[in-house]
Structure 1
Amino acid sequence: MYLMYSFTVVRRKHLPTVSLCMLLFVIHTETYENLAFRKPAWQQHKWPGEPLDVDWGAAKVVDGKYTDRSESGNQCAISAPGQTTATWRVDLGSVVSINHIDIYYRTDNLPSPGRYFSRFAGFFLYVSNTTSKDDGHLCFHEIQNVNGTPVENQTISCSVHGRYVIYYNERRPGVTYPSYYWHEAYNELCEVEVYGCPDPKYYGVNCDQQCPVNCQGKTCDVSTGHCLGCIPGYQGLRCSQVCDVKTYGPQCSLSCGNCSDGETCHNVNGTCLQGCDEGVEAEKCQTRQFSYKQRNIKINFLTNKLAINCTCLNEITCRPGFHGKNCGQRCSHNCNVTNHCNRFTGECDGGCKPGWKMPTCQQECDGGMYGAGCTHSCGPCLDNKQCHHVNGTCLNGCSSGHQGRHCEENCTDGHFGMNCENSCTLYCGRNGSCDRITGMCDSGCIDDWRGPLCGSAEELSSCTSCTADDSIAIILSLVISVIIVITGSVVNFVIWKRNQSENPRRGLNENSKCQLETVNNSDIQSGKDRIGSPYAELTDTNQPNMYEGIHHYTEAAGKIYDEI
């Protein structure tokens, strides 16, 4: 801030007194620091043989003095005459954050336009990180077409980061310039002031506000705080927003791979946090992901460009024999080309081996089909069961009336039933044929034979369609018949045994508990008048007669036979 004190002596006629007035004016206020003040400077063509009392060297442009802008004022740099190019630069010592640049050209202290604007016309102004303007950022260049321009005092806004400020002008042979342009190139600079913040990580009029954390290099525009570039994964003026969906990396310019369920990838490094979708693997799940050898990386802070040169080495997808999310599923060994399938869907290359269903060849043929492509129909297997999925054989046998490996052959004449194991009865009429499923005679029975199978014995042995109640009735009849026969045999045996024991020719049983009744003691003693009958009565006459009991039992048994 510059202050000017003005003292004025006021003289008034007839008034001997003198009034002294002091006026205070603020003529210029600047809060940014002049970063070029007394910094090393250089110019291309130094004036040869400078006068001993005048210095027109490059350092005069940054000494802070420009009140006398004439050749004799010793405050300006003047380059040598007769040149086609003229270059001057100042080294700011490090990369700084620049807001604007002020230039004060030679005027010889005359009002604008002065005598030297034609030499000033057409100039270039660069900011660079090297001493070459070609590596830098062009802050200003204009071909003026109006005589009297440009004005000698210039303020050029150039919000950029850099170390060197370079002034350049040219008058190239063969190039047509406006008619008022001087024919030689000069730099006649009296002062160049570079305003900004010395630390590019801060901004604001007082350089006291820190740049946003996601700015590239932690640097930002010196006046607005807007990032000149973002770190990978972020975007926006202040780099506060993550990359849009499906993008990541520097300037959010890279596309995400095939992440699981269509999710977006990590905004910085592109990795899929929930794994890969079908057909891809590796961290980034990219369908065509290339590994590379890094050759050269160059970041230009002035142009905010990132250049990466690399050599691609190989493509990464699912390994052979794998497919699906994260390539975690194996191709089926039932593929026609074993373990070869589509890396996304798992569909087998060349179809399936016989007995397996497309597309993944993981399921056996079903629905009564078998073989290559599940295009062949099973035969009539027992209980309509599925045949073998590869060769079509009926694993549990054939249905009634069928035989053969695939149960596709009918029973031959004279046979019927499951697997054609039963023979038709001998009592079927005509040619003796019967139904191949039920066994019923095709032409009825021969004479004196009845029933669907033409004979009870044959019906019982070959019946394939009898119900459970019919079988129970037949079994009960057999059991009752056997019981009757056994009972009759026992009774006959008892009668026979009794007859044997009572026969007088074989003698009485000594151990018999029965005693013969004595009719007449005198007869026994004398042996004269013995009863003429060869049989003797038992002594216990009150008990029922044994023969009567047997007679009654025989009658009862006869009635049972009659009922049967």
Structure 2
Amino acid sequence: MTGSCPSGLCERGWKNASDKRCNEECDNGTFGLHCRSKCSGHCAGGLSCNKVTGSCPEGCEDGWINSYCNETCRNNFYGENCSFPCGHCANNAKCDHVTGSCPFGLCKRGWKNTSEKRCNEECENGTFGSNCQSKCSGHCAGEIPCNKVDGFCTQGCAVGWINPYCNDTCQTNFYGKNCSCSCGHCANNATCDHVTGSCPSGLCKRGWKKNSDKRCDEECENGTFGSNCQSKCSGHCVGGLPCNKVDGLCTEGCAFGWINPYCNDTIKRASECNSNQLVRSSLYGTIAALFLSILLNIFLIVRNAKKAFYMRQRSKKGNKEQDSTIETYVTVPGRIEENTAYQELTVQLNNSWINDTEESNAGYQELGQSSQPSHYEELKQF
């Protein structure tokens, strides 16, 4: 008797040796008929599978399932008994079924890569994006953190900020919530603060006043004008109208009795000014007339002097002729007709001398009149 099994067929879990006795158990890692099947090798604790059925008696290693422990976790689970969900791997990649790590450690936006690379920790508040490397603007309404995926402020922006990220200030000349408020009237066309609306250094355009919030959005009150409304109108604009709040001018004219663009000067004062101007004009006219009078007097003096000189020359010539005539008549005395001619000549010479003397005296009289008080003396007395 040899003890061999008929046809050398052994039960499952036993192997057929050379003597076909089927008295040797399958080696570890094998199982089944003639020990021809291999265990999965993923039985928990490194145990060998059942040599008859191939099942793992203590369950599976992490990441493996079913009784043979020969199938990986399904549906984005990993770990012991595949009971843990995968993290947020980039591009919806499947995590490692054993460790749960994401391929290349790449996470979806809004999740960060930890030491296990499982991408199962959300970005901290104030950060967002791929591996949480981007920072939020910090200007979301109500100090709510931005969306950790895209950085958007889902509840809107804080006062003075705009766009989905709330990282841009209001456009020029706007401020406040949703940048819906218009700036006031800042000096030098400066833009106001995008949050409070206040003007730089609190300086306003002329015609506007600075209030407690320095927004320069209140117009000067009636009766005031200029920088920060510190100047007062004259109060004499026509019809009781207020002056222009920028420059203080009375744009519709002045009330009766007042003049100039500001209506702060009276007509009487203007008349005095005009009177002074008239006096000055009269003074200039008098000086001009005096100058002309002096020129005229000089002309007359020169003319009379020439005339007197001319008359003296004629007188001298007449005297010479008289002497000659007298000598002639002295030489032939006793003739009545010559004596009569001598007498006529004497009368003519005497008359000529008298006329010359009168004309000479007239010239001196004119010269004497020119030395009388002139317009210049009258002007000095004025």
TM score, norm. by length of structure 2: 0.43
Higher strand share: 1
TM score, norm. by length of structure 1: 0.31
Instruction: Identify the structure with bigger relative contact order (alpha carbons < 8 Å, sequence gap 6+).
Output: 1
Higher helix share: 2
Structure with bigger gyration radius: 2
